[in-house]
Amino acid sequence: MTDRLIVLISGRGSNLQAIQAACVSGQIPAQIAGVISNRPEAAGLAIARRAGLPTQVVDHRSFASREDFEAALDEAIATWPSDWIVLAGFMRAFTPGFVDRHRGRLVNIHPSLLPAFTGLHTHSRALRAGVCWHGATVHFVTAELDGGPIIAQAAVPVDPEDDEARLADKVLAAEHRLYPLALAWLCRGALELEGDRVHWRQSPPPQERSLLAMIPEDGTCTVQR
């Protein structure tokens, strides 16, 4: 039986699209059971519908408390049998209670090389800090915001001519390769969350390890600010 993913989104849905394409091509041995958005206007909902995926909206603004919102989210999640809950641009922080209920099967992608730049506006903060490398991280979700054990990272060089938009594009392109790769490992049972560490039952194949870095051959660092 292939694994079943529930994908949680808040906006554009480009990672959802990349994950769906990877499920269809067989790169991820899984299917998307359903897509849930906390925003009715999320563009990603149209992407899901066009792909024939079932969708639900659980609008956080309709609930008096975070706990009430998460109870409704739990109900929506329980609609479909699932193995993994995949956060793809889902912009709500969870309570420790929610994280505990789904511990070990809740994964997220964050647009920075964690533990650097947790939270919002990661690209402008990376530029301001003058880092040479930026990127994206797939990690298990724990109660600490953007602080869970790291599964995979993709690095991109920061070029002197990068502005926020250009850097965001480069990182997003890396995300679209990284997330399917990490989900494929998860669904093949290559790793699991053990305590607060990732335990690798089997290493990813070497050709995928090299994809992991995503550092171009000519990835030079000549940043001067």
The binding site for ligand GAR (CB under 6 A) comprises: 9, 11-15, 44, 88-89, 109-111, 136, 172, 175
Phi/psi at 199 (5° precision): -105, 120
Instruction: Kindly tell me which of 82 and 108 has the beta carbon lying closer to ligand GAR.
Output: 108
Instruction: Kindly tell me which of 30 and 47 has the beta carbon lying closer to ligand GAR.
Output: 47
The CA distance from 204 to 215, in Å, is: 18
Distance in Å, CB of 132 to ligand GAR, minimum? 20
Distance in Å, CB of 210 to ligand GAR, minimum? 22
Distance in Å, CB of 57 to ligand GAR, minimum? 15
Phi/psi at 16 (5° precision): -55, -45
Q: Where are the beta strands (DSSP E) in the chain?
A: 3-9, 30-37, 55-57, 84-87, 106-110, 133-140, 150-157, 191-194, 197-200
Instruction: Kindly tell me which of 44 and 189 has the beta carbon lying closer to ligand GAR.
Output: 44
Instruction: Kindly tell me which of 15 and 38 has the beta carbon lying closer to ligand GAR.
Output: 15
123 is catalytic: no
Residue 175 near residue 154, CB atoms below 8 Å: yes
Residue 109 near residue 178, CB atoms below 8 Å: yes
User: In this structure, what token pair is assigned to residue 183?
Assistant: 């989900």
The CA distance from 72 to 59, in Å, is: 9
Residue 23 near residue 35, CB atoms below 8 Å: no
By DSSP bridging, strand 3-9 and strand 84-87 are parallel
Distance in Å, CB of 136 to ligand GAR, minimum? 6
Catalytic residues: 110
